[in-house]
Amino acid sequence: MEKNKYPYHKTDQEWQQSLSPEAYRVLREKGTEYPFSGEYCNHFENGNYHCKGCGTLLFESKTKFDSHCGWPSFDQAVEGALEYHKDSSHGMLRTEIVCAHCGGHQGHVFDDGPTTTGVRYCVNSESILFMSKGA
């Protein structure tokens, strides 16, 4: 990850102090959580999902759906909130998604979505923070 490329940045030490070890591993080291282990996998309340690193709004709850893949899934991101990078790690070609404000790794996007958008944003619960809109 390029240092200081993003509008919101911290030193590595500041990231380690502000995030849990698991959130740091996912957001800053491009890790992933175990499938079906994240707190937002089966979470469908009304509200918004923000980057856990910097608070940027990434997804709205109306775009979340149950993809049965083991991670929170969305069919649309907030416009301009994410950057897309080619990822050829783990012997496959994928598109990584990162927060456009801080560069925090969110997960990957795939073109196999079952909704009208045809895409599935597969996101780590450790990289997002839900903020309720109430009932």
Return the higher-pLDDT residue of 35 and 1.
Answer: 35
Q: Is 122 a catalytic residue?
A: yes
Share of the chain above pLDDT 70, in %: 96
Catalytic hit among 41, 99, 102, 122: 122
> Tens of pLDDT along 15-30?
999 999 999 999 999 9
> Tens of pLDDT along 36-67?
999 999 999 999 999 999 999 999 999 999 99
Q: What is the DSSP track for 115-127? A: STT--EEEE-GGG
Q: Does position 73 have pLDDT exceeding 80, yes or no? A: yes
Tokens of residue 52, six digits: 């856990």
Determine the topology of domain 12-132 in CATH.
Answer: 2.170.150
Quick one: 120 exposed, middle or buried, by C-beta within 10 A (0-12, 13-18, 19+)? buried
pLDDT of residue 133: 83
Residue ranges per structural domain of the chain: 12-132
Q: How far from the centroid of its chain's Cα atoms is residue 124's Cα?
A: 5
**pTM summary value:** 0.92
Q: How confident is the model at residue 90 (pLDDT cuts 50, 70, 90)?
A: confident
Q: Does position 134 have pLDDT exceeding 90, yes or no? A: no
Q: Does position 124 have pLDDT exceeding 90, yes or no? A: yes
Q: Does position 2 have pLDDT exceeding 70, yes or no? A: no
